[in-house]
Chains A and B, each alone.
Chain A
Amino acid sequence: MGYNIVVCAKQVPDTKRITGDAMKEDGTVNRAALPAIFNPEDLNALETALAVRDAHGGTVTVVTMGPPNACEILRDSLCRGADKAILVSDRRAAASDTLATSYILSQAVRKLNADLVFCGRQAIDGDTAQVGPQMAEKLGFTLVTYLEELINVGNDGIRVKRNVGNGWEDVTAKLPALVTVLDTANTPRPYMSKRLMKFKKAKCALELAEGVCPDAMAEKGLLIDMWDLDALECDMQWVGMAGSPTKVNRILSVVLAGGDYEEFEPTEAGAAKLVSELIEEHTIG
């Protein structure tokens, strides 16, 4: 038997290459200054999904929500071996926070009738780690976070070694389940050359050059499916701005200046002074 596996992935700005102009004056992220990449832990999620499929059969579908540019990570997924890729794209989804995003993605997973969903632990742009767990809640799936090792998948469900920070838990979860994956879980596989040669040409309808027929692309297996919120039967009160209770008050660009440090003597008195200063500056306490 095979599993119907869905991987939720996100295209993110490469925050490792952050420079001085990474933030605009209004405090929002200057996406033009940072290359867009596959969120690293989502690649670990994809690798876990592909390994389950390789061992047990089934299909791996990668879903991402974003503008047509986000198809770049879907092509990437197809080149690494994913069977199918879907772009969820709709202007009405703009400004969705983690709650609204998890609602929209959970609708996609529902439509795909998945047995298993893998997500990266968190995305490197927002670092919230909320979308996966919120999706599991909405879908009623068993949630397992922080997968470090996939032990097996079988009749009892999925057995996982999860890293809980100060140790590990060996848990078995009934399917359907949603699992979030850590970057220590595996090394994502490289692109397969032949798939690279083929799926570099895959596009969603909005990326097609004028005159290129989507049906002809679909026939070659090169059309990336696009779903809008209607296709997902979304209730509009839970999406976009309306469905997003998170209100951003202010975003600060914090620039850490070098050399701004103070030394404390390694004595009782020094330690006490350090603690009291940290409390005073609200770093702790």
Chain B
Amino acid sequence: MANFFTDNQDMMFLFKHFNLERLATLQEEDFRFHEEFDFAPEDADDARDSYERILKNVGQICGDEIAPTAEESDNVGNILNDDGSVTYTPGIQNAIERLAQAEAMGFTLPYRFGGINCPQLVFSMSNDMVSRADASLMNIYGLQGNADTLNAFASEEIKQEYLPDMAAGNWTSAMVLTEPDAGSDLQAVRCSAYQDENGEWFIHGVKRFITNGCGEVLLCLVRTEPEISDGRGLSLLVCKRGPKVKIRRLENKLGIHASPTCEIFFDHVPAKLVGERQYGLIKYVMSLMNGARIGIASQSIGIGEAAYRVARDYGASREQYGVTIDTFPAVRELLVNSQVDLQAARSLTYYATFNVDIEIACEKKALVAEGDEKKANRKTLRSIGRYNKLLTPMAKYYGSEMSMRVSNDAIAVLGGSGYMKDYASERHMRDARITTIYEGTSQLQVLAAVAGVLSGTCKTVIEDITAKPTRADAWSADTKGFIETIQAKMVELDECVTFIKTKSTAYRDLMARKLVDMGIFLVVGTQFADQAESTVDDEMAATKLKVLKHWMAWRMPEFDSYKAAIFADLDYVNPDFEALAGPLPIIE
């Protein structure tokens, strides 16, 4: 009997630390829904209490029912039937039913469609737990974001047709973007849609690598303007699974075996246009992807958490030379760095999600506000939008790379046993690998995030957090020194930015990862300092001060080395590529 919420002290602490009252007030639009829906919260305390109960409920399902089936689901995988339908593993099937019974499949949808209207931050926490239980399941569960996209952009008619069944968990969904020749570069999408004489839309073409492509609701990025060859020729259409949607193949993958990855042939499938033509990629999919990136960041944290726990437990029980191996400094370093890395990713992701919630609320407000309020809202929306363009890719990049490091180091702690199938560690490592690839590779996240570092947004974020702790009036003697260090380092990062702006684009791209890492080290440092000042839990605040100290001791020397590398102004990668990369292999 495990509860993945109550047994996770970091998550419990952050749940209390973040200003959920503010998010609840925004999400509940000043608690106006209570009159219509008697279960909707009456005030901020009521909302926070409900969020906690909902997370505990999901945490119990994760611990008791989902985690115990993850190994079997990984072993058996999904089945593509002769009729083109897909059968989930028994564990995944049961989990979806349970989460539907718990009314957790419309986590962020409005009450009027049967959802429970939670902030994205609370949903992220649930994603974190679901993923810890079974990373594959998180793909299907996390695709609830598709419903958010329909809610944000589709017509009322489409919302009424789709959202109630999605919220009830009767229908799962897929974001149908990738094609054989359109992966990172979605502008190259070829799968097309056309209208018949009555104006009805039909999709025709092939999509590949579609997570849960066997779901009932398919959001498809397709070319509706054959004469426009770039992203402006693409629109977003929605269709239902039916006889004309043919699943041709399930991919055989390294990890997330229980998440069905489908190749789909659309044989003139009737569909409906979401929003306006030509905005498919540039507006709707960009929005969808941002939500999905937060989702993958949460998935990464869940995998990291699961991997870490196996290593921590093993380190404390495995004896060599007459002592448990977690008494050796080398093993301790693996464990401590993993735990702090995990907390860093969780902080960054939750902080990013917190800001996403504020952005969503501002977008909603923009539709109704007037006069001065509208002006003020527009200003907040602009600055928060910039924050999220930086924080979302940072969270996705750092989180996914963290899950790779932590799952890899977990195997280091387990040694030979970790390499065997007897422990879950090898599964965690296989599952972690995809997180740095899908919804935009790490390299693409870095390119997105570096724009925010170069533009000064990163600096604004740090200034914002260092201005005042969330739950205290001023920085105490314990954290003040670290805050000053971070501020001094921010000046150094600024110098790097100024320097790099004088260099070629190639050099800028080459140094992008270093710049983004430097920004992350500082943002996370401020987050840990802020948590160390928290008044919600003194014991955890004291622990966070220790975490902060270790983070700074670990990451600031790396910061310095990156700065030195940037100023060294040496690029051998581009001019000497042929020599350094070696000859192309001859394939016979």
Contacts and interface: CB of A to CB of B under 8 A. Distances in A.
Contacts of B539: none
Contacts of A189: 98, 101
Nearest to B50: A197
A200 B49 CA distance: 9
Given A196-B54, A197-B39, A200-B50, A190 B116 contact: no
Contacts, number: 44
A220 interface: yes
Contacts of B228: none
The interface size bin for chain A is 10 to 19
B375 interface: no
A220 B38 CA distance: 8
Nearest to A222: B38
Contacts of A198: 38-39
B98 A191 contact: no
Nearest to B57: A191
A197 B116 contact: yes
B492 interface: no
A217 to B, nearest CB: 12
Contacts of A197: 39-41, 50, 53-54, 116
B104 A193 contact: yes
A193 B122 CA distance: 13
A236 B15 CA distance: 52
Contacts of A250: none
Nearest to B42: A201
Contacts of A196: 50, 53-54, 57
A278 interface: no
A194 B39 contact: yes
Contacts of A193: 54, 57, 102-104, 116
Interface string A182-202: 000001011111111110100
Contacts of B50: 196-197, 200
Interface string B57-81: 1001100010000000000000000
A200 B101 contact: no
Nearest to A199: B39
B101 A194 contact: no
Contacts of A194: 37, 39, 103, 116
B101 A190 contact: yes
Contacts of B49: 200
Interface string B19-59: 00000000000000000011111000000011001100100
B56 to A, nearest CB: 9
Nearest to A190: B102
Interface string B75-101: 000000000000000000000001001
Interface in A66-124: none
Nearest to B49: A200
Given A196-B50, A197-B116, A190 B39 contact: no
A190 B54 contact: no
B180 to A, nearest CB: 40
B273 to A, nearest CB: 32
A190 B53 contact: no
Contact of A192 (B37, B40, B101): B101
Interface in A175-230: 187, 189-198, 200, 220-221
Contacts of A195: 39
A191 B3 CA distance: 14
Contact of B65 (A187, A191, A200, A220): A187
Select the residue from B39, B40, B60, B65 with max chain A CB neighbours within 10 A. B39
Contact of B102 (A187, A192, A200, A220): A192
B416 to A, nearest CB: 32
B325 to A, nearest CB: 27
A191 B98 CA distance: 10
Given A190-B102, A193-B104, 12 more contacts: A189-B98, A190-B57, A192-B101, A193-B54, A194-B39, A194-B103, A196-B50, A196-B54, A196-B57, A197-B50, A197-B116, A198-B39
Interface of B: 37-41, 49-50, 53-54, 57, 60-61, 65, 98, 101-104, 116
State the 4 A-B residue pairs at the shortest beta-carbon distance, nearest first. A198-B39, A193-B103, A197-B39, A190-B102
